[in-house]
Structure 1
Amino acid sequence: MSDAVQHPSHSLKSSLPWLSGIITGIVSGVVLGLFLKAVQTLTGEKVYTLLLNIDFVPGLPPQLPEWIEFSLHLVVSVVIGIFYIWWIRRSGRPVRRGIFIGAASSLLYLPLSPLSSRVPDLNDAGAIFYWVVGHLLFGALLGLFGKYMHAKKRHQVHR
Protein backbone atom coordinates (compact mmCIF):
# COMPACT_ATOMS: atom_id res chain seq x y z
CA MET A 1 0.00 0.00 0.00
CA SER A 2 1.38 3.45 -0.88
CA ASP A 3 2.47 5.93 1.77
CA ALA A 4 -0.24 8.37 0.63
CA VAL A 5 -2.93 5.75 1.27
CA GLN A 6 -1.50 4.66 4.63
CA HIS A 7 -0.86 8.21 5.84
CA PRO A 8 -3.23 10.59 4.01
CA SER A 9 -2.53 13.53 6.33
CA HIS A 10 1.22 13.17 5.64
CA SER A 11 0.51 13.24 1.92
CA LEU A 12 -1.56 16.41 2.20
CA LYS A 13 0.99 18.05 4.48
CA SER A 14 3.86 17.36 2.09
CA SER A 15 1.88 18.39 -0.99
CA LEU A 16 1.29 21.94 0.22
CA PRO A 17 4.34 23.64 1.72
CA TRP A 18 2.40 25.94 4.02
CA LEU A 19 4.70 26.73 6.91
CA SER A 20 7.98 26.89 5.03
CA GLY A 21 6.35 28.90 2.23
CA ILE A 22 4.79 31.35 4.68
CA ILE A 23 8.08 31.90 6.50
CA THR A 24 10.00 32.21 3.23
CA GLY A 25 7.49 34.69 1.84
CA ILE A 26 7.32 36.84 4.97
CA VAL A 27 11.08 37.10 5.49
CA SER A 28 11.83 37.71 1.80
CA GLY A 29 8.95 40.21 1.53
CA VAL A 30 10.02 42.12 4.65
CA VAL A 31 13.61 42.37 3.39
CA LEU A 32 12.40 43.60 -0.01
CA GLY A 33 10.16 46.17 1.66
CA LEU A 34 12.90 47.40 4.00
CA PHE A 35 15.39 47.61 1.14
CA LEU A 36 13.03 49.65 -1.05
CA LYS A 37 12.03 51.87 1.88
CA ALA A 38 15.72 52.57 2.61
CA VAL A 39 16.36 53.33 -1.07
CA GLN A 40 13.40 55.71 -1.17
CA THR A 41 14.53 57.42 2.04
CA LEU A 42 18.12 57.81 0.84
CA THR A 43 17.55 58.65 -2.84
CA GLY A 44 14.01 60.00 -3.13
CA GLU A 45 13.15 57.38 -5.78
CA LYS A 46 9.58 56.32 -4.99
CA VAL A 47 10.20 52.59 -5.30
CA TYR A 48 8.74 51.80 -1.86
CA THR A 49 5.63 53.79 -2.79
CA LEU A 50 5.42 51.70 -5.98
CA LEU A 51 5.75 48.48 -3.97
CA LEU A 52 2.83 49.42 -1.75
CA ASN A 53 0.76 51.13 -4.45
CA ILE A 54 -2.86 49.98 -4.60
CA ASP A 55 -4.31 52.79 -6.76
CA PHE A 56 -5.31 50.28 -9.41
CA VAL A 57 -7.30 47.90 -7.16
CA PRO A 58 -11.03 48.49 -7.70
CA GLY A 59 -13.07 48.94 -4.54
CA LEU A 60 -10.13 50.01 -2.38
CA PRO A 61 -9.41 53.62 -1.49
CA PRO A 62 -6.44 55.02 -3.42
CA GLN A 63 -4.36 55.14 -0.24
CA LEU A 64 -4.54 53.14 2.96
CA PRO A 65 -2.36 53.31 6.06
CA GLU A 66 1.16 52.11 5.32
CA TRP A 67 0.86 49.08 7.60
CA ILE A 68 -2.19 47.84 5.68
CA GLU A 69 -0.49 48.38 2.32
CA PHE A 70 2.62 46.60 3.61
CA SER A 71 0.44 43.73 4.88
CA LEU A 72 -1.08 43.39 1.40
CA HIS A 73 2.46 43.27 -0.02
CA LEU A 74 3.29 40.49 2.47
CA VAL A 75 0.20 38.52 1.43
CA VAL A 76 1.53 38.54 -2.14
CA SER A 77 4.99 37.54 -0.86
CA VAL A 78 3.52 34.64 1.11
CA VAL A 79 1.64 33.38 -1.96
CA ILE A 80 4.90 33.58 -3.92
CA GLY A 81 6.77 31.83 -1.07
CA ILE A 82 4.27 28.95 -0.97
CA PHE A 83 4.38 28.56 -4.74
CA TYR A 84 8.18 28.71 -4.71
CA ILE A 85 8.59 26.00 -2.05
CA TRP A 86 6.03 23.81 -3.85
CA TRP A 87 7.95 24.35 -7.12
CA ILE A 88 11.41 23.50 -5.79
CA ARG A 89 10.13 20.41 -4.02
CA ARG A 90 9.12 19.11 -7.43
CA SER A 91 11.99 20.37 -9.55
CA GLY A 92 14.94 21.23 -7.30
CA ARG A 93 17.39 24.00 -8.22
CA PRO A 94 16.27 26.34 -5.41
CA VAL A 95 18.69 29.21 -6.03
CA ARG A 96 18.08 29.32 -9.78
CA ARG A 97 14.31 29.17 -9.29
CA GLY A 98 14.40 31.86 -6.59
CA ILE A 99 16.38 34.28 -8.73
CA PHE A 100 14.06 33.54 -11.66
CA ILE A 101 11.03 34.47 -9.52
CA GLY A 102 12.77 37.64 -8.33
CA ALA A 103 13.67 38.64 -11.89
CA ALA A 104 10.19 37.83 -13.18
CA SER A 105 8.51 39.79 -10.37
CA SER A 106 10.70 42.82 -11.18
CA LEU A 107 8.88 42.98 -14.51
CA LEU A 108 5.82 44.17 -12.58
CA TYR A 109 7.39 47.63 -12.82
CA LEU A 110 6.15 47.83 -16.40
CA PRO A 111 2.40 47.50 -15.78
CA LEU A 112 2.37 49.09 -12.29
CA SER A 113 4.28 52.29 -13.01
CA PRO A 114 1.71 53.88 -15.36
CA LEU A 115 -1.18 53.15 -12.98
CA SER A 116 -0.46 55.97 -10.55
CA SER A 117 0.89 59.49 -10.54
CA ARG A 118 2.48 58.81 -7.12
CA VAL A 119 5.09 56.38 -8.46
CA PRO A 120 8.13 56.64 -10.77
CA ASP A 121 7.67 56.89 -14.52
CA LEU A 122 8.37 54.05 -16.92
CA ASN A 123 11.53 55.81 -18.10
CA ASP A 124 13.03 56.50 -14.64
CA ALA A 125 16.30 54.54 -14.94
CA GLY A 126 17.23 55.00 -11.29
CA ALA A 127 13.91 53.67 -10.04
CA ILE A 128 14.06 50.75 -12.45
CA PHE A 129 17.58 49.92 -11.26
CA TYR A 130 16.62 49.92 -7.56
CA TRP A 131 13.40 48.02 -8.27
CA VAL A 132 15.25 45.28 -10.15
CA VAL A 133 18.02 45.06 -7.53
CA GLY A 134 15.42 44.80 -4.77
CA HIS A 135 13.54 42.04 -6.54
CA LEU A 136 16.73 40.14 -7.31
CA LEU A 137 17.51 40.39 -3.58
CA PHE A 138 14.01 39.01 -2.92
CA GLY A 139 14.72 36.14 -5.33
CA ALA A 140 18.13 35.44 -3.82
CA LEU A 141 16.54 35.20 -0.37
CA LEU A 142 13.95 32.79 -1.73
CA GLY A 143 16.84 30.78 -3.17
CA LEU A 144 18.76 30.74 0.11
CA PHE A 145 15.69 29.60 2.06
CA GLY A 146 15.00 26.97 -0.56
CA LYS A 147 18.58 25.76 -0.59
CA TYR A 148 18.56 25.48 3.21
CA MET A 149 15.27 23.57 3.24
CA HIS A 150 16.35 21.35 0.36
CA ALA A 151 19.61 20.51 2.16
CA LYS A 152 17.72 19.92 5.42
CA LYS A 153 15.31 17.56 3.66
CA ARG A 154 18.19 15.60 2.10
CA HIS A 155 19.93 15.41 5.46
CA GLN A 156 16.78 14.01 7.11
CA VAL A 157 16.41 11.38 4.37
CA HIS A 158 20.00 10.16 4.81
CA ARG A 159 19.79 9.71 8.58
Structure 2
Amino acid sequence: MPDPAAHPSTSVKHSLPWLSGILTGILSGVVLGFFLKVIQAITGEQVYTLLLNIDFVPGLPPTLPEFIEFALHLIVSVVIGIFYLWWVRHSGSPMIKGILLGAVSSLLYIPLSQLSSRVPDLYDVSAILYWIAGHLLFGIMLGLCGKYINTTKKANPAS
Protein backbone atom coordinates (compact mmCIF):
# COMPACT_ATOMS: atom_id res chain seq x y z
CA MET A 1 0.00 0.00 0.00
CA PRO A 2 1.56 3.35 -1.03
CA ASP A 3 2.50 5.85 1.65
CA PRO A 4 0.19 8.92 1.26
CA ALA A 5 2.89 11.22 2.70
CA ALA A 6 5.44 10.06 0.11
CA HIS A 7 2.95 10.08 -2.77
CA PRO A 8 0.34 12.78 -2.21
CA SER A 9 -2.68 12.69 -4.47
CA THR A 10 -2.59 15.00 -7.45
CA SER A 11 -5.63 16.89 -6.16
CA VAL A 12 -3.74 17.85 -2.98
CA LYS A 13 -0.49 18.45 -4.84
CA HIS A 14 -2.11 20.82 -7.34
CA SER A 15 -4.58 22.51 -5.00
CA LEU A 16 -4.73 26.22 -4.48
CA PRO A 17 -2.13 27.70 -2.11
CA TRP A 18 -4.72 28.61 0.51
CA LEU A 19 -2.72 29.55 3.61
CA SER A 20 0.19 31.24 1.85
CA GLY A 21 -2.24 32.98 -0.52
CA ILE A 22 -4.32 34.28 2.37
CA LEU A 23 -1.24 35.59 4.17
CA THR A 24 0.17 37.10 0.97
CA GLY A 25 -3.13 38.83 0.21
CA ILE A 26 -3.50 40.19 3.74
CA LEU A 27 0.07 41.50 3.90
CA SER A 28 -0.04 43.09 0.45
CA GLY A 29 -3.53 44.52 1.04
CA VAL A 30 -2.54 46.03 4.40
CA VAL A 31 0.54 47.66 2.83
CA LEU A 32 -1.60 49.13 0.02
CA GLY A 33 -4.26 50.34 2.45
CA PHE A 34 -1.74 51.89 4.84
CA PHE A 35 0.09 53.60 1.96
CA LEU A 36 -3.11 55.13 0.54
CA LYS A 37 -4.36 56.13 4.00
CA VAL A 38 -1.09 58.00 4.67
CA ILE A 39 -1.22 59.65 1.23
CA GLN A 40 -4.82 60.77 1.88
CA ALA A 41 -3.90 62.11 5.35
CA ILE A 42 -0.93 64.07 3.96
CA THR A 43 -2.36 65.36 0.67
CA GLY A 44 -6.13 65.28 1.09
CA GLU A 45 -6.49 63.23 -2.11
CA GLN A 46 -9.34 60.77 -1.49
CA VAL A 47 -7.41 57.70 -2.68
CA TYR A 48 -7.98 55.70 0.52
CA THR A 49 -11.68 56.55 0.30
CA LEU A 50 -11.59 55.26 -3.29
CA LEU A 51 -9.93 52.02 -2.16
CA LEU A 52 -12.65 51.36 0.41
CA ASN A 53 -15.56 52.76 -1.63
CA ILE A 54 -18.61 50.47 -1.71
CA ASP A 55 -21.22 52.97 -3.00
CA PHE A 56 -21.86 50.79 -6.04
CA VAL A 57 -22.37 47.41 -4.32
CA PRO A 58 -26.07 46.49 -4.45
CA GLY A 59 -27.59 45.55 -1.12
CA LEU A 60 -24.95 47.31 0.98
CA PRO A 61 -25.39 50.74 2.53
CA PRO A 62 -23.32 53.45 0.79
CA THR A 63 -20.96 53.60 3.77
CA LEU A 64 -20.03 51.12 6.46
CA PRO A 65 -17.62 51.42 9.37
CA GLU A 66 -14.06 51.74 8.09
CA PHE A 67 -12.95 48.40 9.52
CA ILE A 68 -15.70 46.57 7.59
CA GLU A 69 -14.86 48.39 4.36
CA PHE A 70 -11.19 47.56 4.95
CA ALA A 71 -12.09 43.91 5.58
CA LEU A 72 -13.90 43.86 2.22
CA HIS A 73 -10.76 45.29 0.60
CA LEU A 74 -8.70 42.55 2.26
CA ILE A 75 -11.06 39.86 0.94
CA VAL A 76 -10.32 41.07 -2.59
CA SER A 77 -6.59 41.12 -1.77
CA VAL A 78 -6.77 37.55 -0.44
CA VAL A 79 -8.45 36.34 -3.65
CA ILE A 80 -5.68 38.05 -5.64
CA GLY A 81 -3.02 36.55 -3.32
CA ILE A 82 -4.34 33.01 -3.79
CA PHE A 83 -4.58 33.42 -7.56
CA TYR A 84 -1.13 35.02 -7.69
CA LEU A 85 0.59 32.20 -5.79
CA TRP A 86 -1.20 29.57 -7.86
CA TRP A 87 -0.04 31.37 -11.02
CA VAL A 88 3.57 31.66 -9.78
CA ARG A 89 3.59 28.03 -8.66
CA HIS A 90 2.69 26.99 -12.20
CA SER A 91 4.87 29.35 -14.19
CA GLY A 92 7.49 31.07 -11.99
CA SER A 93 8.63 34.71 -12.21
CA PRO A 94 7.14 35.94 -8.90
CA MET A 95 8.33 39.57 -9.11
CA ILE A 96 7.25 40.12 -12.70
CA LYS A 97 3.83 38.57 -12.08
CA GLY A 98 3.36 40.49 -8.82
CA ILE A 99 4.14 43.83 -10.41
CA LEU A 100 1.96 42.93 -13.40
CA LEU A 101 -1.00 42.18 -11.10
CA GLY A 102 -0.38 45.44 -9.24
CA ALA A 103 -0.29 47.39 -12.51
CA VAL A 104 -3.41 45.71 -13.86
CA SER A 105 -5.31 46.23 -10.61
CA SER A 106 -4.45 49.94 -10.76
CA LEU A 107 -6.68 50.13 -13.84
CA LEU A 108 -9.64 49.81 -11.48
CA TYR A 109 -9.20 53.54 -10.93
CA ILE A 110 -11.10 54.14 -14.17
CA PRO A 111 -14.43 52.51 -13.26
CA LEU A 112 -14.20 53.14 -9.50
CA SER A 113 -13.66 56.88 -9.95
CA GLN A 114 -16.94 57.03 -11.88
CA LEU A 115 -19.07 55.28 -9.27
CA SER A 116 -19.13 57.83 -6.45
CA SER A 117 -19.02 61.54 -5.83
CA ARG A 118 -16.87 60.93 -2.70
CA VAL A 119 -13.79 59.85 -4.67
CA PRO A 120 -11.29 61.57 -6.98
CA ASP A 121 -12.31 62.52 -10.48
CA LEU A 122 -11.31 60.39 -13.46
CA TYR A 123 -8.90 63.13 -14.58
CA ASP A 124 -7.30 63.91 -11.20
CA VAL A 125 -3.67 63.34 -12.20
CA SER A 126 -2.17 63.41 -8.71
CA ALA A 127 -4.78 60.93 -7.41
CA ILE A 128 -4.10 58.67 -10.39
CA LEU A 129 -0.34 58.76 -9.73
CA TYR A 130 -0.81 57.97 -6.01
CA TRP A 131 -3.22 55.17 -6.92
CA ILE A 132 -0.77 53.67 -9.43
CA ALA A 133 2.15 54.00 -6.98
CA GLY A 134 0.11 52.24 -4.28
CA HIS A 135 -0.87 49.41 -6.59
CA LEU A 136 2.69 48.98 -7.83
CA LEU A 137 3.70 48.75 -4.16
CA PHE A 138 0.96 46.12 -3.76
CA GLY A 139 2.46 44.23 -6.71
CA ILE A 140 5.96 44.48 -5.28
CA MET A 141 4.68 43.07 -1.98
CA LEU A 142 3.05 40.19 -3.87
CA GLY A 143 6.37 39.60 -5.64
CA LEU A 144 8.39 39.65 -2.43
CA CYS A 145 5.99 37.20 -0.79
CA GLY A 146 6.13 34.97 -3.87
CA LYS A 147 9.93 35.04 -3.90
CA TYR A 148 10.08 34.25 -0.19
CA ILE A 149 7.61 31.38 -0.49
CA ASN A 150 9.41 29.93 -3.53
CA THR A 151 12.78 30.21 -1.75
CA THR A 152 11.39 28.57 1.38
CA LYS A 153 9.79 25.75 -0.63
CA LYS A 154 13.08 25.05 -2.46
CA ALA A 155 15.05 25.07 0.80
CA ASN A 156 12.51 22.73 2.49
CA PRO A 157 11.07 20.54 -0.30
CA ALA A 158 9.19 18.40 2.22
CA SER A 159 6.99 21.34 3.30
1:6-54 per-position Cα deviation (integer Å, ceiling 9, x unaligned):
533x742652100000000001000100000000000000000000000
- Counterpart amino acid of 2:109? Y
Report the equivalent of 1:7: 8
TM-score normalised over the length of structure 1: 0.92
Could you give the per-residue CA deviations for residues 79-136 of structure 1, whole angstroms, max 9, x where no partner exists?
0000001000000000000000000000000010010000000000000000000000
Give distance in 1, aligned partners of 2:34 and 2:104.
20
Output the aligned Cα RMSD: 2.1
State how far apart, in whole Å, the 2-side matches of 1:94 and 1:76 are. 19
* Segments of 4+ moved more than 2 angstroms: none
Please give the residue correspondences for 1:3-152 in structure 2 after superposition, counting only pairs within 5 Å.
Answer: 6-8=7-9, 11-12=11-12, 14-152=14-152
Which amino acid letter does the alignment assign opposite residue 136 of structure 1?
Answer: L
List runs of 5+ in structure 1 lacking aligned partners: none
In structure 1, the residue corresponding to 2:114 is in which secondary structure? Answer: helix
User: Which structure: greater helix fraction?
Assistant: 1
Q: State the shift of 1:154 in Å.
A: 1.5
Following the alignment from structure 2 to structure 1, what is the Cα–Cα distance between the partners of residues 132 and 33?
13
TM-score, structure 2 length as denominator? 0.92
The DSSP-based 3-state class of the residue aligned with 1:142 is helix
Identity fraction in percent: 68
Aligned residues: 157
